């Protein structure tokens, strides 16, 4: 290459500076009103794989044209017109049963809905059997079925009441064990449609928590059976019953034992039920195979850890092989989330992976080729990749590429996959990749025609060494648009902070609101601590019996680093909701020398006030760990409070009760401390509509007044 002459250098520099100066800045309408820009554009939508070599895409051929469906052939890299009808069809006719009003209606493809029930009571959670012959549901806390061909209704249980729940979960099971997507359902069809497993829950000993609602002349109370840390839990029995009715087989567990049951697994042949059992201390997990005829049980897996084990909600601890006997187990027992291959009798066949894997999810199992495809975070804890490994644990290979986060869609046999990938500096791209990891074809790029024309705030993923030198803590920062490291800038940190609930991910995130705050001179930060999941179960274990301690230690280390990069020590804000609200309260009290302003929504303020299963998993009971509960409460640290905290909460929050914020408010009042407080009448653990807009406005106003120290522009009001 020829070197530039001395006479040309000044001219080249002027051209470069001029080119940079010509970059446009986003307008108010573009950042806040959704005015169109071509900075980014939509990617094609993958509708699905037609077969192992062809996939359907929905995409626009021009930004202003409607989307069309195309068939892409991976072998020829050719694209032809396609139709959603080309996707594989289900073997059985599509049947669904839905709730309309309080009754059930059957829908069959091409026919008008047919009413199945007409009762004064409400039917809940209808689920059609795998063979489409029955629908199961609950009514008044009893389990029922209807045979769809003759509309015959069968009541399977008879003792349902306000305290006895058959197939309908008690609150703590819904929230913490089975999961919110179940909508309180606690019954499961066998794969052969011959049996239904269900949980019978007895709430008799569970304390009642009253929730006040303000509507009407006299208001009222909503009473919830809610066990707080140390309280009695619901007692649970596992039953198995045929859909046509008959005797219930009860699994051989003592319902009076202080225990938990996770979501059960049906064996693929439907001939046995696998039940997850855990002790109250949550450090021992046992999986039992239950006999359908007599309820007897035998252990097929057992695990004990020194801290705790997460009780699986059916999301992937056990993956049965379908064609050969055996199952794949996902476990973090060695400090990371690895895969193990087991025989059906519970004997270990061999270990499949060994390494610092986390968020390990099986994507596909090819039993013919004895190969497993799975996604995990290993190369970098802020990114996700696709891997392949053999049943013998050999030939582990990373199939995705580069320093990106990948979201993948595998073809039926794993011959190809589609990846949508990005990082903090690279907008999403869509590519077709072969099973060998080589890119076959780019399918779309979300970088728009005006991407290089605008001056955008810089976002990057960085690491800060923990104070003890053991961990490189991840942070995601969007810098002010005119950032100068010599100047001082206000900081707004958004956190959640719960165990294994990290928020720092290396993927493309772009919004007008983000760019607005950057233009206003705000440093925007997300940060994670050692127990956030980036450092496996080994990092998580620090939180055992000490919630609130290590999160704050690591975050203070990050704030010290931020100060060296221009963060204003007098304008360091932090905000979050739920666990994030809790940690905001802790930051403004125990960490008041480093955090000056806080937005705390739906906050736990003392762990005695939260539910048994979540709290005791990490903290044990208040009786077992009094010092941990004391140190993890906001209240003992109020003497350090000196900044400004805005507390806000829904009055009907049935998850984190308003009681938490009210107790904190009272203590602040008794200490004669200045703070802000807002309630949202009728709000649960979150709220929508005009109240949501109001909450956003008030939080933004708080940031403008206290961090930016100026009036909030009219354009910001919602």
The percent of the chain in helix, strand and coil, each rounded to the nearest 5, is: 20, 35, 45
Reading the block at residue 342, the tokens are 């087991």
**DSSP secondary structure letters along 457-521:** --EEEEEEE-TTSS-EEEEEEE--TT--TTS-EEEEEE----TT------S----HHHHHHHHTT
Which strands form 338-342's sheet, in the order they lie side by side? 318-320, 327-331, 338-342, 348-351
Mention every residue, 6+ apart, whose C-beta is less than 8 A from residue 475.
Answer: 461, 462, 463, 464, 504, 525, 526, 527, 528, 558
Residue entry with tokens 């010599």: 486
**HSE value, Cβ hemisphere, 13 Å, CA-based, for 376:** 27
The H or E element spanning position 321 is none
Residue entry with tokens 């021992």: 284
Q: How many CB atoms lie within 10 A of CB 433?
A: 23
Reading the block at residue 631, the tokens are 């140190």
Calpha distance 670→581 (Å, rounded): 21
The verdict on whether 578 is a catalytic residue reads yes
Calpha distance 531→499 (Å, rounded): 6
Calpha distance 329→321 (Å, rounded): 11
Calpha distance 529→467 (Å, rounded): 11
The H or E element spanning position 176 is none
Q: What three-state secondary structure class fits 387?
A: strand
Calpha distance 236→466 (Å, rounded): 44
Angle at 54 between CA 88 and CA 83, to 5 degrees: 60
The values of phi and psi at residue 444, to 5°, are 180, 150
Calpha distance 275→297 (Å, rounded): 9
Partnered with residue 362 across adjacent β-strands are 374
Query: 235-263 burial by CB neighbour count: b if 16+ within 10 A, else e?
Result: bbbbbbbbbeeeebbbbebeeeeebbbbb
Q: How many CB atoms lie within 10 A of CB 329?
A: 20
Q: Which of 73, 568, 685, 692 is catalytic?
A: 685
| Helices marked H in 149-271 | 171-172
Mention every residue, 6+ apart, whose C-beta is less than 8 A from residue 112.
Answer: none
Q: What three-state secondary structure class fits 605?
A: coil
User: What is each CA distance from 370 to 364, 391, 394, in whole angstroms?
Assistant: 11, 5, 11
Q: Which of 312, 319, 653, 661 is catalytic?
A: 653
Q: Are 366 and 353 in contact (CB under 8 A)?
A: no
Query: 176-189 burial by CB neighbour count: b if 16+ within 10 A, else e?
Result: bbbeeebebbbbbb
Q: Which of 190, 578, 633, 695 is catalytic?
A: 578
With the C-alpha atoms ordered 57, 58, 60, 65, is the resulting torsion angle positive or negative? Answer: positive
Q: How many CB atoms lie within 10 A of CB 76?
A: 10
Active site residues: 578, 653, 685
């Amino acid at each position: 290459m020829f070197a530039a002459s001395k006479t040309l250098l000044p001219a080249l520099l002027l051209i470069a500076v001029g080119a940079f100066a010509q970059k446009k800045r986003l307008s108010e309408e573009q950042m806040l009103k959704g005015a169109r820009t071509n900075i980014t554009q939509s990617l094609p939508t993958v509708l699905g794989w037609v077969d192992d070599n062809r996939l359907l895409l929905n995409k626009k051929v021009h930004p202003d044209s409607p989307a069309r469906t195309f068939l892409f052939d991976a072998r020829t890299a050719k694209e032809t017109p396609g139709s959603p009808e080309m996707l594989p069809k289900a073997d059985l006719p599509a049947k669904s049963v839905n709730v309309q009003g309080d009754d059930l209606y059957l829908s069959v493809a091409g026919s008008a809905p047919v009413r199945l029930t007409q009762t004064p009571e409400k039917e809940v959670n209808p689920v059609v059997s795998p063979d489409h012959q029955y629908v199961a549901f609950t009514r008044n806390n009893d389990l029922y079925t209807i045979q769809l061909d003759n509309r015959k209704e069968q009541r399977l249980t008879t003792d349902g009441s306000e305290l006895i729940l058959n197939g309908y979960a008690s609150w703590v099971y819904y929230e913490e064990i089975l999961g919110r997507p179940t909508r309180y359902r606690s019954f499961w069809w066998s794969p052969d449609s011959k049996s239904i497993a269900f949980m019978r829950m007895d709430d008799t000993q569970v304390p009642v928590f009253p929730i006040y609602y303000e509507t009407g002349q006299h208001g009222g109370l909503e009473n919830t059976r809610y066990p707080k840390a140390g309280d009695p839990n619901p007692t649970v029995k596992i039953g198995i019953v045929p859909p046509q009715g008959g005797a219930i087989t009860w699994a051989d567990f003592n319902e009076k034992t202080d225990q938990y049951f996770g979501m059960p697994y049906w064996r693929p042949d439907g001939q046995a039920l696998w039940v997850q059992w855990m002790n109250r201390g949550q450090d021992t997990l046992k999986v039992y195979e239950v006999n359908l005829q007599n309820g007897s049980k035998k252990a097929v897996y057992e695990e004990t850890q020194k801290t705790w084990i997460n009780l699986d909600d059916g999301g992937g601890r056990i993956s049965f092989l379908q064609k050969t006997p055996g199952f794949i187990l996902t476990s973090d027992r060695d400090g990371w989330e690895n895969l193990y291959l087991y025989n059906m009798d519970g004997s270990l066949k061999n270990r499949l992976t060994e390494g610092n894997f986390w968020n390990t999810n099986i994507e596909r199992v090819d039993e013919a080729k004895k190969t497993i495809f799975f996604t995990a975070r290993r190369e970098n804890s802020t990114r996700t990749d696709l891997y392949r490994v053999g049943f013998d644990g050999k030939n582990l290979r990373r199939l995705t590429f580069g320093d990106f986060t990948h979201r993948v869609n595998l073809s039926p046999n794993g011959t190809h996959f589609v990846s949508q990938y990005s990082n903090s500096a690279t907008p999403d791209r869509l590519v077709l990749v072969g099973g060998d990891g080589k890119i076959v074809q780019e399918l779309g790029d979300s970088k728009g025609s005006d991407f290089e024309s605008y001056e955008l705030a810089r976002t990057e993923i960085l690491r800060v060494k923990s104070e003890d030198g053991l961990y490189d803590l991840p942070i995601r920062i969007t810098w002010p648009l005119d950032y100068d490291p010599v100047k001082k800038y206000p900081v707004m940190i958004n956190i959640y902070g719960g165990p294994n609930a990290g928020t720092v991910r290396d993927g493309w995130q772009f919004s007008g609101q983000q760019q607005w705050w950057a233009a206003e001179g705000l440093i925007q930060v997300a940060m994670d601590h050692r127990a956030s999941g980036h450092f496996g179960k080994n990092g998580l274990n620090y939180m055992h019996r000490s919630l609130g301690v290590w999160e704050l230690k690591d975050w203070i280390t990050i704030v010290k680093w931020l100060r060296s990069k221009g963060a204003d020590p007098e304008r360091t804000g932090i905000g979050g909701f739920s666990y994030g609200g809790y940690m905001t309260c802790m930051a403004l009290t125990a960490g008041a020398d480093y955090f000056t302003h806080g937005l705390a929504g739906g906050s736990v303020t003392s762990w005695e006030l939260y539910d048994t299963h979540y709290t005791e998993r990490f903290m044990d009971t208040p009786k077992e760990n009094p010092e941990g509960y004391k140190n993890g409460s906001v209240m003992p640290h109020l003497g350090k409070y000196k900044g400004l905290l805005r507390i806000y909460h829904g009055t009907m929050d049935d998850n984190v009760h308003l009681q938490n914020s009210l107790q904190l408010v009272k203590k602040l009042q008794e200490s004669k401390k200045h703070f802000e407080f807002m309630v949202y009448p009728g709000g649960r653990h979150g709220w929508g509509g005009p109240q949501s807009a109001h909450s956003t406005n008030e939080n933004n106003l708080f940031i403008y007044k206290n961090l930016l120290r100026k009036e909030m522009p009219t354009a910001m009001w919602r």
